[in-house]
Structure 1
């Protein structure tokens, strides 16, 4: 990815921290014999938070690729970005 700013990375870190907390809740629920329903709901929340973080990272890279196509600090092509996007879809 090209140069990242604090404004770019803050929402990603927030999502990842949220996923980390939710994963902690999943682990605690499994360890304490929590209900299947609660575990699955928390797992879905973790999965969603991770997907959103991934989409945010790729979206930021795509925006930079489009707005500054001559930036060679990260030689990722639009095709490579699209493939990354599709891995999350």
Structure 2
């Protein structure tokens, strides 16, 4: 399978800086929660921050998933059509479905 989703060309590449900026912000939030626990702050305030972190991670995940579908799955569909091999597309669809399943369980 040679879809255009190789290690040098991922669907998120054009938004890499934005993803990294968002992840650094999340990293700062996690450090803030560590500090809150270290300072024995109120548990509900800590849980509020944890919920915000989870929401931010969820947003990153959905963005990456959207980019995977619009880049890798669409690329596999094109390759599948060009080669007449439906397995190329089916493999990418199954991969995306498995990722969605993992996200729903988290």
TM-score, with length taken from structure 2: 0.68
How many residue pairs were aligned?
A: 86
Does the 8 Å CA contact 1:15/1:52 hold for their aligned counterparts?
Answer: no
Q: Which runs of 4+ in 1 moved over 4 A?
A: none
Give the equivalent residue in structure 1 for 2:40: 33
Cα 1:66–1:6 change in 2 (3 A) is: closer
Q: Which has the larger radius of gyration?
A: 2
Give the superposed CA RMSD: 2.3
Distance 1:82 1:10 in 2: 26
Q: Which has the higher helix share?
A: 2
Deviation at 1:65, TM superposition (A): 2.6
TM-score, with length taken from structure 1: 0.79
Distance 1:59 1:11 in 2: 15
Q: Give runs of aligned pairs for residues 1-89 of structure 1, distance below 5 A.
A: 2=5, 3-4=9-10, 6-69=13-76, 70=79, 77-89=92-104
> What do the CA deviations read for 1:34-71 (whole angstroms, capped 9, x no partner)?
11111001101111111111111111111013432229
Residue ranges of structure 1 left out of the alignment (5+ in a row) = none
